[in-house]
Amino acid sequence: MAAPLVRRSVLTCTTSELPRVVTGAVLCKSGLHDVALGQNDNLSAYRRGKGGRGSFSGMVATVFGASGFLGRYVVHRLAKIGTQVICPYRGDPYFMKDLKLAGDLGQILFLPFNLKDEQSIKKCMKYSNVVINLIGRDWETKNFKFDDVHVKGARDLARIAKESGVERFIHMSHLNAQPNPPPIYVKGGSKFLKSKHYGELAVREEFPDATIFRPADIFGLEDRFIRYYASGWRRSLGTMPLYKRGTKTVKQPVFCFNVAEGIINSLKEPTAIGNTYECTGPNSYYLSDLIDYFYRCLRHASLMRSYVTPLYKMKVMFMSYAPATPVVTMDKLDREHVSDVLQDLATLEDLGVTLTKMEEQAPYILKPFRRYNYLDESVGEFAKPEPPPVIVT
């Protein structure tokens, strides 16, 4: 049986819209290509199906940081629209196995890489037209400092993506990223926030058309915001140590589903090219009110908020040397008390995202940690926790 032929003269998009191909049929629809870049002689790379996990949209996305908290939601939503997803990993491949269920057979691929090995990075981007950088570090180690991950690593990914002809580059930063964050407990301010700021500049320098997302604290299952404050390691002697007892810190947490949806929508939005988006929730709260609400959900009769004492600082310094995952470090203690400040940039709502209120998710997220879980909720022994007051702006 003769092999099917591919017509090489059918072009339905302008020259400026052409991907990095020389021959092959290319059909441009809604900003997505009907064929994966560089794969025009491969019939299996052409767009097929009616949409959904069992189809192929023509988009091939490499998601760095796919095994992280936010990465799994991004991979899931990419696969849902028929994207072939390449998930680079640095650690044990068994940490990635659950992501294989996000898409159909052959749609979710895994490749080992190292952030300091450019050849492995190039291999991960070879057939991609979209690259998403979700790599981040909450604490420093002897192998990876904040600048190694957030600045140099981000610069290398953006530069290699540009050299590889990638069309869209998405970079994840932080809402409070700034060159001079306010010093609270760390001299000179949070190194994390500084590195996120310079990482943005590095990405813009290497890939000017990159889309940057600046999220506030992200909450969701297995997050490091709500569950962080529920941890016993964060407390001290039955109290919650906070800067000025949390009454001067304003937070605007955002739901993980909303951030993931915003990333996917930005890939379909031409105006998102070269734009920066601030990702926040619909409401602002004082940190003190959030802590009180969390512990109402946990069914604590009362929890005192206290000041950060020298004794607690010693505890945090000791925990910073934890061999695995430190719950709290001095840098995290410093940046968690930096108030969320918007800079009048585009938001998730500009990408068509309907924001989720924290009160709708927090009771479910905290359910595994609450007291008296063996009691039936339907009996009504515990009143529904009163939501935290919203700051009216």
User: How would you classify residue 274: left for phi > 0, otherwise alpha for psi between -120 and 50, otherwise beta?
Assistant: left
Q: What share of the chain is helix, strand, coil (3-state, %, to 5)?
A: 35, 15, 50
pTM: predicted TM-score of the whole model, two decimal places? 0.87
pLDDT of residue 37: 52
Dihedral angle sign, alpha carbons of residues 340, 342, 345, 351: positive
**CA 263, chain centre distance (Å):** 9
> Is 283 within 8 Å of 358 (Cβ atoms)?
yes
pLDDT averaged per 10 residues in sequence order, the chain, 393 residues: 34 36 34 52 61 84 95 95 94 88 90 95 94 95 93 97 96 97 94 97 97 97 94 92 96 97 95 96 97 94 92 92 87 96 95 96 94 81 91 83
Q: What distances in angstroms separate CA 65 from CA 1, 49, 86, 107, one per listed residue?
A: 44, 28, 11, 17
pLDDT of residue 231: 92
Query: How, if at all, do strands 254-255 and 211-215 pair?
Result: unpaired
Structure tokens at 283: 């409401």
pLDDT of residue 217: 97
pLDDT of residue 17: 39
